Structure 1
């Protein structure tokens, strides 16, 4: 069992900004960071409406104070109450209007905050799509998920609650200070000092506890990611009786996060108390000065009442601001993770000078391609070259880890090579727009992904407007129609998350049907039969043979029985091309291919 102190250290240590492996420079966020302010730009109109209503609400309190002071002055002066009836009516009207403004303000805040959260999630999703699988391979999905969900929610309160309140508190406080300066300069200055100290409170507290807030927002997504990891791996945990051990580890990490959060709350209180005292003492001093002024005859009783009520109203914006300070800390902690994604650089950037639209021949060429997943690592693909002409069927074979699947990732431009070039139809793929490039390929991989939806929904990913006849034609060609119609609701049967309600062979045949439906001129089969049994393999191989007709086909496989009829076979060893030729040519050479075939137990 890991030592608890090490767990705490791990979960309170900031590494590479929230655990996301990017270099965005999003750490050490400022409380009013321009990049964060820019993210809410689309809702500035509504936010200014919130500020305007907030100022009107604050103004209504000031007017209310003035009216109450006038009523009390009439009472203390012995004037008839009948003369105060208009003041009472005005007071009721002010209260009614304020209630209506508060109601409208809350609705606008909710609408603006929700729109900002939706907009942020949309931007993050599109950015993740642009970053692609190559970037996601270096991330923990739970961390990214927490950023999308919790990060956007924390920021909506920063924009909707904290930012407008900063402006309202500042302007309302300034207005009250100006009025008090008009009544009495000394009192106005005292209240002014109190207001400035109170408005500086968020900056002071953020400077004091900002780093710990950041620690919490680093630790929380990591812990969330571990819970997701454990839930997804529940079968493995049960099979090894490891559930309790992992549960105890999660308990330790959860407690570490709890301790970090309690520490933040303590620091907030410690930093907030002195500044709260400044406001309270400032208000008391102003009232005492007012009393002394009245005793000296330089301030009337009505004036003192006016001062008392205005000092009370001066404390209201300060109190409102203090109630929203936590939203700012949570927002800044979340903003770092959001910016880490939004400012991330894709492993394969969009082309600066894309080629003009037009038909590209379905030929592929790798020219001296070298690629490393990380700087300093051994090349996953090393000075690798091969070519496929339109209509050819070419196979890439080799031991596990030889670099075969990396070729697929480079072909789809999830990454760019460190050296060399990859050409499609004679054009460097770095000059082809990503959507156009990927429209050229139909890919069937060993790890088929089906979304939680119906069979029909998953098929229509390939061609959203496909007719029923087109769907059935594709599934028949993939040997999938019969089993689909045998499902409880046929094509409208829900397959479950990742297609869990289907067998491996059934999922694979749906993937093949999708590839057929897409109708791309190049077919990439990446270990398409590696995870199915012999009976399903025969069905799937027949289906793949039908799909491959009249298409340029690349087969990546460690099962050599799947590549015998390829026009050309390339044998990869440690990322380098070991040998190439047809099946019969390679057998005669008695080289690496022959050794792989013998290790597989196959016959020549």
Structure 2
């Protein structure tokens, strides 16, 4: 939607100031805010059936997952056969128990089979790696798109109370943190499990007594591993939270607005201090996460590496006792199989720890996916064309509004507001800052949900209309226009992707900006820069107006659209706005009364209520709040004129 929605002014706290452009904060504020947030998020959120929900992510790829499982099972099974052949090589080919010299033909045959098995194992491993990469990365991509889509469905209030950097961190860092788990878990768990089981079976077949010695400590290791995993999961949650804060600081400080603010107040050193402190915390947590469990794995490595020596000792004792006969082939084959047990066993333990660790990150992801948008279409919601009233009519019936995070004792932002805007009518809302004007504006397209009363659009309750249909009928121009870091042409086509160049030019002529664009070296292909900072305020506003004209909506909402401009730019933009409003239902929120003098009806808002209504002349004659505001503005202009040098 062609909105240009930046930081909304006034309107009872409707300010749209998210992380972008917030710039440096006072040190005391930062400390309280960040520490409280870190304490609140030190442990991962509790998500029911987490394992089952992670498994559900693989459902669309069942066929490829089945092939992956087949490849893993075949690869694991093939990998344990060569050690068994080694026993035959020693006992039947090199040192045959029947006596005599080496049996070369049998030796060639057994070696050839071994090499063939190695080649087959390599081919299966290649196939398995390809399948794993495609499935794992596809699931990761689906999860990232799913979260992005869900976040776009969240109501406006969610974004006004959540740092942009924190949202970005959930989408990028958290999903990225589980990418390797999604990619490698299935093959690692299956492959290593099959290899471990097959190795133990092979060891039992070779010599059951030596097998007992090799695996006697495994239950103890499993218990220790579980405790280590719990510690790693807790550290992982803290690490991701710190990464969210680091991303938020970066996004705030290095945006165009943030860097301009820090340079304006010479606070780059303070911003560096914020970043350095959180970065040090991130480094500390990363080191803790990397080192947690390393002592455990070192112990496992020492134990598993020492087992062959113990086996040789036991075998020597058995041979020396004379009660049992253990051949050299048996010892070599058993040691070979046992050596193969080390890597998959370590891998299985590591992936189990990774699963425990990633559980905290998965919980953070599902926490966002489980958020329910406050504004959703009802079953059977209709389009605006099906609404019973005339298109372009807006009506408030006893509307009240209170922000979700405000206390019940606080004064509501809006209290029993009622008015009607007829199709094609121009209605303005004026009043002191914080009176609730902008809130009225954003309740109209249902960007916020009224907490009392009814907002009607084209005669229908907005809750009975499809939200997308309402937005299609509305164009919004706010005081801070948002432009993408793209060309003017691309920014205009955001409202109508299929628009022709002729339509773009017509919209820009109507917005009184075409001649300016033509004067640029690259014309409509001029890149406007981050948030349009390469353009002046008036140029950005007129491009925003052209964008709305290209959309051609029957209802136009103007939120302090000229308040940030100088007198000359205001006049030019106001002319463009007058052109845009012609023939449309127009609702204007204004601070400068000079911009709403010609409105059909002016409503004066104070402390969330409409206290006066009428035309400019009738309100002046009434001598109420509107007349007082007009007198204040006239006095301010007179003072400026008196101070201006002759």
Relative to the length of structure 2, the TM-score reads 0.85
Equivalent residue of 2:88, what SS? helix
**Shift of the alpha carbon at 1:166?**
2.0
The 1:445–1:466 alpha-carbon spacing in structure 2 relative to 1, beyond 3 Å, is: same
Deviation sequence 1:526-560 (CA, Å, 0-9, x none): 11111222112111111111111111110011111
Residues in 2 aligned to 1:99 and 1:230: alpha-carbon distance in whole angstroms:
50
Partner of 2:149: 126
Note the 1:178-577 alignment, pairs <5 A: 178-191=201-214, 193-194=216-217, 203-232=226-255, 233-276=258-301, 279-280=304-305, 289=314, 292=317, 296-297=323-324, 299-324=326-351, 327-328=354-355, 331-355=358-382, 358-360=385-387, 361-373=391-403, 374-376=405-407, 377-577=410-610
Residues in 2 aligned to 1:224 and 1:590: alpha-carbon distance in whole angstroms:
53
Partner of 2:95: 76
The 1:180–1:370 alpha-carbon spacing in structure 2 relative to 1, beyond 3 Å, is: same
Partner of 1:21: none
**Shift of the alpha carbon at 1:101?**
2.5
The 1:118–1:55 alpha-carbon spacing in structure 2 relative to 1, beyond 3 Å, is: same
CA contact (8 A) 1:31 1:206 kept: no
**Shift of the alpha carbon at 1:50?**
3.6
CA contact (8 A) 1:158 1:331 kept: yes
Residues in 2 aligned to 1:567 and 1:202: alpha-carbon distance in whole angstroms:
74
Residues in 2 aligned to 1:313 and 1:113: alpha-carbon distance in whole angstroms:
26
Residues in 1 aligned to 2:220 and 2:193: alpha-carbon distance in whole angstroms:
11
Partner of 2:612: 579
CA RMSD of aligned residues (A): 3.0
The 1:238–1:9 alpha-carbon spacing in structure 2 relative to 1, beyond 3 Å, is: closer
Residues in 1 aligned to 2:296 and 2:34: alpha-carbon distance in whole angstroms:
26
CA contact (8 A) 1:474 1:513 kept: yes
The 1:596–1:150 alpha-carbon spacing in structure 2 relative to 1, beyond 3 Å, is: same
User: 173-182 or 273-282: which moved more?
Assistant: 273-282
1:54 aligns to 2:77 (yes or no):
no
The 1:370–1:357 alpha-carbon spacing in structure 2 relative to 1, beyond 3 Å, is: closer
Residues in 2 aligned to 1:202 and 1:108: alpha-carbon distance in whole angstroms:
29
CA contact (8 A) 2:137 2:182 kept: no
Compare relative contact order (CA 8 Å, sep 6+) and give the higher one, 1 or 2: 2
Equivalent residue of 1:601, what SS? helix
User: 591-600 or 113-122: which moved more?
Assistant: 113-122
Structure 1: tracts of 5 or more residues without a match: 19-24
The 1:12–1:473 alpha-carbon spacing in structure 2 relative to 1, beyond 3 Å, is: closer
Aligned partner (choices 197, 209, 233) of residue 174 of structure 1: 197
Equivalent residue of 2:446, what SS? coil
Deviation sequence 1:315-341 (CA, Å, 0-9, x none): 221122345466435633432332232
**Shift of the alpha carbon at 1:85?**
0.5
Residues in 2 aligned to 1:2 and 1:433: alpha-carbon distance in whole angstroms:
43
The 1:513–1:180 alpha-carbon spacing in structure 2 relative to 1, beyond 3 Å, is: same
Residues in 2 aligned to 1:285 and 1:421: alpha-carbon distance in whole angstroms:
81
CA contact (8 A) 2:428 2:603 kept: yes
The 1:66–1:181 alpha-carbon spacing in structure 2 relative to 1, beyond 3 Å, is: closer
Partner of 2:51: 33
**Shift of the alpha carbon at 1:485?**
1.4
1:158 aligns to 2:177 (yes or no):
no
Aligned partner (choices 110, 134, 138) of residue 133 of structure 2: 110
Equivalent residue of 2:385, what SS? coil
Equivalent residue of 1:383, what SS? strand
CA contact (8 A) 2:398 2:418 kept: yes
Structure 2: tracts of 5 or more residues without a match: 1-24, 639-646
Residues in 2 aligned to 1:534 and 1:98: alpha-carbon distance in whole angstroms:
77
CA contact (8 A) 1:463 1:518 kept: yes
